[in-house]
Structure 1
């Protein structure tokens, strides 16, 4: 054995001299000897795959630095602002609707010569007279410009929020990927025997993609939806709490319909993909060995096998179409029930409480409640992405934090003999595969 190789081997053995579980006798011609430690290989099966603790939501940002925190703070403020723009748009929409209704009332009064008409009591089915101090056209022109302003601000804020979270996520994923790869390279060989190559490759690709989605643009979407939902709910309650409570009482039907449609669509899409993947596997197998298939005249047999693998695809497609159609009917029915409740009770409130309710208020309350239920149904998929990100990040962070039992990067640790000349003899050293204890 060459001296440089002996020196490297001595360094590795010297690092183990601090632990005293088992002894390794090193006999050299110059009399240098020492006691080292040999790890119990059977413990790797349990220690290499410990029970991974589920990450909390904020723990997934463990590798964010101060710049990332600043970027995410800016993105959070922008996402909340983008969601808050929608209730303000409803306020503008209410003013435009009331102005149009006011214009219609003035036209009716002028056509039928009712200029001397006075207000009739709301309790008797009366209505409030239109405002004659301001022209309806001027009123519309005064408020319609805010559509452009609020629309531009909504786009600007959402772009800032989306960009900030995407940039921060890429910075963190790049840092995690580097630390994960470096720590994997420094693990001992026994750990690789238990962990498996496929699992490591999946961590560096699929799991990191899931973490990226969970800390990236999905967070901006989630915060924007939360701000929009809360803003619409508060806006509707302020404008007319009675009508809002009636609409929200039947709104869960819309949420159930939306989520049912999404879940069933995903379910049958997965079934179609699995069915096509079986057929694609057969086609790939045949094309890879096309010479063998042709040599044994197996074209017809392979055609039959390929056709049989595709028999389930039309059935899945038909079943998917029928079920999604029923879900769409249920969604339309739920929205129709909400429409009916809003219009029936809304017109009653306009007749009995005409000073508190108007056509514009009725319309914007309905839109606000419908947006509240829609945002609530869209939040569920975002929460699923967060759950996937924390589940994938748990094992990744565990690997990043794992200390190797034999770390080759720490060359200066342990006791290193100054000289080493001669033969090396190992005594009482036993070896078993960590994943195969019955083989030695």
Structure 2
């Protein structure tokens, strides 16, 4: 942070820094929410999860009964072989134990089925609720949040991370519980059959569990880093495809591809580290059962010779231990998936729990019955939270009278658009107040405030829907459902009705992604209609004609002139010709008000505004001279700025609303 900005924040006290931190991190001191996946489970979901968990545990616990029955069968066969068991007794016992296997298989089938179906059903419902809560939380955030978090990362959270969460709470959690129950039951069986053998084998189980835990933690760490990098790469592709024309026109494909490949390479390295550890764990887990079986048979033979164990006991113990080993093998990947899922859920919960100081869905705040439209800025300072080393506005005081047209001009970076951002409460001033009809707008309900304001940007964004739907979206903040006739009236005011009806499908024409099926002037007029449909008391125009050619500009300017009637209008203008009829012109320079007045008085001052007019006139004259060289039209070049003071007059031009000519 620069020393100048440090001084600015210091002079503002802790208050300015607190405002910046509040916008970056959410409301300070907001109640902490202890969010878990169960927070989003209904009573029905929880009941199903409990039943499914019981089924999964029982299914796992029944598996070690297989070696117990097998050991009993071995004992019967040994008895028949040494003559202690008769043939009829053998048949009876084998039939009985075979039926046990049948009963066991039926129980395992139904328990596993209900456990799996239950977890899939509840898991999908919980994941859907979390997705909905996350999207709702995103919609509640302030602009500082979006300045720091890219759209690609948000999309990655909804699609990829929530997919990981859903997988964890559906298939993996069921497998994990079943495997844990199987391991515990197998160990119990081994100790019951002969505790000395089970005790000798215990260190191997501990080694498997510890290695799985440490390796899993290492793998999850690098997996999370890989997911973050993939999210950043996703942001690049989303931005590139969203502006594919600019990418192609400026030859940015190679640069963006290199950045994309670089991020993928870093993500691949992180994934490679995780996968190498996982591969080693899988190899280790698959090798361990053979080693444990070897030790079990070796130790069992010693105890068998001493007469402490029977052949059936040795067999049962070894099989139980083997089943326990395979349970651990099942636990390792499931545990990793669970950890990844819960880690992803934790990141999602951070956003859900984040309380925004500019929540458009909040119901608190004043909602006056009527709006006059008088706007004042009193000693306003502004620092963008994501760029707190730059003071955008410094001690700005100005007034935009109700029902009047106020223009704000200035060089690039002077803070013009920042004033509109403050009026919309996209950001909070770090000092001073923004006042509407005598009330600080921070005390007003944000949704109500924005319902009184309509904004038309330089580059309007249209949604991939019909023209009718795009215009109707202008009433979303008022919860009104505009009629087709209301849409037509708004389009007529915006000079858009004629070109819309000339389209093959009229108002039902789809505009394409970002409205690219329409021309710039057509998009701008639809944006104006969208702004006018709810009859706002305040209209904000942010360089609404600067990106248009002169012919289209005149059409759009006519629509703007009509739109400005009977409401407070604040216009940001790059082309100074569009503001000459404004009731008041405010000139900004380096974040403060340099001049104020109407067009004639500011020209007479021969100050900043006159200088801006002359610079723009020179640029226009240069362009017209180039046109002359191409055989187009002649031009009269302006004299110096000194002559603008007393000798300038305004004349109409077919390509420019006015020119300044020396007399």
Determine if the TM-score, normalized by the shorter chain, exceeds 0.5: yes
**What is the Cα deviation at residue 67 of structure 1?**
0.8
Q: Secondary structure at the match of 1:409?
A: coil
User: Who wins on radius of gyration, i.e. which is larger?
Assistant: 2
2: distance between equivalents of 1:418 and 1:266?
55
Correspondent of 1:94 among 38, 59, 71: 71
The alpha carbon displacement at 1:70 in A equals 0.4
Q: Which deviates more from structure 2 when the two are superposed, residues 191-200 or residues 249-258?
A: 249-258
Matched, 1:70 2:24: no
Against the structure 1 CA distance between its residues 407 and 347, is the aligned structure 2 distance closer, same or farther, given a 3 Å change threshold? closer
How many aligned residue pairs are there?
338
157, 171, 181: which one aligns with 1:227? 181
1:404 aligns with 2:356: yes
Secondary structure at the counterpart of residue 376 of structure 2:
coil
The equivalent position to 1:148 in structure 2, one of 95, 102, 118, is: 102
Q: 1:360 maps to which residue?
A: 312
The TM-score, its normalising length taken from structure 1, stands at 0.63
Which residue pairs with 1:435 in the alignment? 386
CA displacement at 1:224 relative to structure 2? 0.6
Per the alignment, in what secondary structure is the counterpart of residue 216 of structure 1? helix
Residues 72 and 264 (structure 1), Cα distance of their counterparts in 2 relative to 1, 3 Å cut: closer
Provide closer, same or farther for how the CA distance between residues 137 and 349 of structure 1 changes in structure 2, counting only shifts above 3 A.
Answer: farther
CA contact (8 A) 1:162 1:217 kept: yes
Offset at residue 233 of structure 1 (A): 0.9
Superposition RMSD in Å: 4.6
1:123-202 aligned within 5 A: 130-132=84-86, 135-202=89-156
Tell me, in whole angstroms, the C-alpha distance in 1 between the residues paired with 2:324 and 2:290. Answer: 16
* Deviations 1:329-352 (CA, angstroms, capped at 9, x unpaired): 9955x5454333322332332333
Partner of 2:370: 419
Deviation at 1:189, TM superposition (A): 2.1
TM-score by length of 2: 0.44
- How far is the alpha carbon of 1:55 from its aligned partner? 10
More strand by share: 2
2:347 to 377, 395, 417: 395
Q: How many Å apart are 1:188 and its aligned residue?
A: 2.2
1:387-433 CA-to-partner distances (Å, cap 9, x unmatched) read 2223222232232233321222346x323333333542323233332
Trace 1:226-375 onto structure 2 (pairs within 5 A): 226-250=180-204, 332=287, 334-353=288-307, 357-375=309-327
Q: For 1:278-315, what per-residue CA distance to the aligned partner results, in whole angstroms no more than 9, with x for missing partners?
A: 9xxxxxxxxx9xxx9xxxxxxxxxxxxxxxxxxxx9xx
Q: Pick closer, same or farther for the CA change 1:217–1:43 going to 2, 3 Å.
A: same
Aligned to 1:295: none
Q: Assess if the C-alpha contact under 8 Å between 2:190 and 2:317 holds in 1.
A: yes
Q: Distance between the aligned counterparts of 1:132 and 1:357, measured in 2?
A: 23
- Corresponding residue for residue 21 of structure 2: 43
User: As a proportion of its length, which structure holds more helix?
Assistant: 1
Structure 2 runs not aligned, ≥5 long: 1-11, 224-228, 234-243, 249-267, 393-663
- The 8 Å contact of residues 193 and 433 in structure 1, kept in 2 or not, is answered as no
Moved more, 64-73 or 414-423: 414-423
Q: Aligned residue for 1:34?
A: none
Shift of 1:134: 5.1
Alpha-carbon distance in 2 for matches of 1:186, 1:223: 37
Give 5+ residue unaligned stretches, structure 1: 1-21, 23-36, 107-129, 279-287, 293-312
1:252 offset after TM fit, Å?
5.5
Residue 77 (structure 1) shift: 0.8
Which range moved further: 132-141 or 217-226? Answer: 132-141
CA distance 1:170–1:251, change in 2 (3 Å) = closer
Q: Relative to structure 1, is the Cα distance of residues 261 and 427 closer, same or farther in structure 2, using a 3 angstrom cutoff?
A: closer
Contact 2:62–2:108 (8 Å) recurs in 1: yes
Retained in 1: the 8 A contact 2:64–2:323? no
1:381 aligns with 2:336: no
Q: CA deviation at 1:262?
A: 9.5
Say whether the 8 Å CA contact 1:254–1:335 is kept in structure 2: no
* Contact 1:85–1:154 (CA under 8 A) maintained in structure 2: yes
